[in-house]
Chains A and B, each alone.
Chain A
């Protein structure tokens, strides 16, 4: 079922209204058995989250059964990033896709917890425990 997946690399200047903000977010993917492990690096913010959204849409439209997002390299996530993850979570409900997140820094984890999203998402300390949860 697994499609060859685009690897996205974002490193550019984006223009937002009359302000220019530099940002850097990279998404890369590998397979652990049949589970795509997606490594995100950098800041997930207003400028970069549309790229993550595009990427996750390819996953939901291919009815990705299990997905692991490795957050070890994520230094910051804003609310548009959280919303993007919730949107993917909603999209997986009809086909019962599983999603796990691993290795969130304490600061990033706080962003989830302050709006009680740890009750929706499956958050794990490392990729191994996340993979185990997806395989269970």
Chain B
């Protein structure tokens, strides 16, 4: 299924990104083994989404190397990048579904765009992916007719349509209630443990982070201030880290949304 068999799904070395003269990512280095879940944490504006956009090749760094599935994507042209892109997928922060299409058509999009799948096969794959995310029977509804949690799951189904080896998720559970968060987390765990894919998840939900992570990275103002196993992160004495961990989680089941989610809900016109 793949031509490059590096044991690492990701290897990032000395990544620096500047917007104008502002350094947004500063000397980022980490590895991720295949079959593991990396959680990237950090407050709003610390650079999490910008880092993800580098990992999927949308942004090029000013300095550094980014090896994805064995290939340094900073050195690739568009054709080379397209070849690596075929092997990973991204679930976007706000689902990014097309409102004019049905749920099923949204999930089918990557399949039909790949150019190699007939419509009847694509229809069946859509059904399988909707089953995977617990939305069997919803294919004919429009995104506007389903809940936010369901839209997130449709986004997940679409990201999984082409069976990626590597899955990137930007805040897959933000704005979801604890039950729906647990559902998405379990899905991520199943994909990794049962199918052997690798996942990179950006989140600021600490309950969710500790539930799924093999490895964690804490970003602070564009720098990694800690990385390691969940236990190592839990026991790291850095006060910025401890404040983040304690400040965000209310115990095993958060009774309140995180501040950001609350504000987002309060102000959204959804």
Contacts and interface: CB of A to CB of B under 8 A. Distances in A.
B131 A115 contact: yes
A47 B3 CA distance: 14
Contacts of A20: 83
B114 interface: yes
A53 B121 CA distance: 10
A46 B116 contact: yes
Contacts of B120: 87
Interface in B118-135: 118, 120-122, 124-125, 128-129, 131-132
Nearest to A85: B124
Chain B interface size band reads 20 to 34
B266 to A, nearest CB: 37
Central interface residue in B3, B124, B195, B196, by most chain A CB within 10 Å: B124
A9 interface: no
B1 A87 contact: no
If over half of B's interface residues share one DSSP class (helix, strand or loop), that class is named, otherwise mixed; here it is helix
A interface: dominant SS: mixed
A86 B191 CA distance: 21
Contacts of A110: 194-195
B162 A46 contact: yes
Interface string A41-59: 0010111011001000000
A84 B121 contact: yes
A83 interface: yes
Given A19-B82, A19-B83, A110-B195, 19 more contacts: A16-B114, A16-B115, A19-B86, A45-B163, A46-B162, A47-B116, A50-B118, A53-B121, A75-B1, A78-B1, A79-B128, A86-B124, A87-B121, A110-B194, A113-B194, A114-B132, A115-B131, A115-B132, A116-B131
* Top 3 A-B residue pairs of the complex, sorted by shortest distance between their CB atoms: A83-B124, A19-B83, A78-B163
30 contacts: A16-B116, A17-B114, A18-B79, A18-B83, A19-B86, A20-B83, A21-B3, A43-B1, A45-B163, A46-B116, A47-B116, A53-B121, A76-B1, A78-B1, A79-B125, A79-B129, A79-B163, A80-B111, A80-B125, A82-B124, A83-B121, A83-B122, A86-B124, A87-B120, A110-B195, A111-B195, A113-B194, A114-B194, A114-B195, A115-B131
